[in-house]
Amino acid sequence: MARPYIEFIQAQQLDWAKGLPGRAFDDVDARILSQDGETGAMSAILRYPPGWSRPGSHGLAATEELFVLDGALEIGGVTYQPHHYANLPPLYARQDARSPRGATVLTFFDRLPEKALPAAAGEWDLARVIPHVDVVAMPWEWVGADDPNLKHLGAGIKRLRRDPETGETSFLFCSGPHSRPLSGYGRQETHTVVEESFLLAGEIAGTGGLRRPGAYFWRPPLLRHGPFGTLTGTMSFIRAVGGRLEDTWTADEIAFDFAPKHQPFVPAELAEAAAKEWTPPRW
């Protein structure tokens, strides 16, 4: 079964489990955010324990897209610190991976992550490999200032990946504090592709309720969402899955509320975890 609509689940409400389907990560703990029952593709938070190591050369049958949330992960002599990014296509050779102090890593696989013999250097998909990006060092590209549907957000983007064939993208999206539709009402948007998001910082009010850091959604195509706003400002990791992400706006507007009702849309197996609003101590 393809992945169900999830909007949203706080990752903190999911249990840690040992390993991942595919058996290539039996030595880490994982919170699976969503998975495709047909292809084995999945999105997860992996927690590498302190002292984790995988000597020698190894590979995966899946593309591994990673973004470090906490700690540090080393692969092939490169250290991935918090908010460092990579996109490693199938059969990419990882050499002497380790995590002396442990790491928590937001990770996306495009099929079941099974072990595979790595290809010789340079024989993996060179058009798609992104070995290492220090995303903190990238400048924000400010967007939407001339768009009546976006200008209230004070929005910025850091573009991480665009697939050369499908147009699929991964990017960070930020918006400034005190952002909301200025009239109190806003249009809703739809896309023709899946939009997937993990909230890294700040709180954002809108479809499904109030999302806090760690909030995750997988939104299939053509579902209306928004309007959104934030008191604190926000930063999200966003992926478009299945093609280019373009906005189509409804003609009608609906009311925006900084304190929306908690009503997440989740499949039955997540209903209990998602039912209660996750409210960390504020002050």
Return residues touching Fe ion (CB under 5 A).
195
Closer to Fe ion by Cβ: residue 58 or 187: 187
Q: How far is the CB of 67 from Fe ion (least distance, A)?
A: 19
Closer to Fe ion by Cβ: residue 195 or 196: 195
Count CB-CB contacts under 10 A for residue 200. 19
Which residue in the shown chain puts its C-beta closest to Fe ion? 195
Q: How far is the CB of 208 from Fe ion (least distance, A)?
A: 13
Q: How far is the CB of 195 from Fe ion (least distance, A)?
A: 5
222: region left, alpha or beta (phi > 0 left; psi from -120 to 50 alpha): left
Cβ contact 160:108 at 8 Å: no
β-pair type (29-35, 52-60): unpaired
Q: How far is the CB of 189 from Fe ion (least distance, A)?
A: 5
Which residues neighbour 269 within 8 Å (Cβ) at sequence distance 6 or greater?
none
Cβ contact 118:62 at 8 Å: no
Q: How far is the CB of 117 from Fe ion (least distance, A)?
A: 39
- Distance (Å, whole) CA 227 – CA 233: 15
Closer to Fe ion by Cβ: residue 18 or 159: 159
Closer to Fe ion by Cβ: residue 32 or 223: 223
- Distance (Å, whole) CA 127 – CA 67: 19
Closer to Fe ion by Cβ: residue 36 or 195: 195
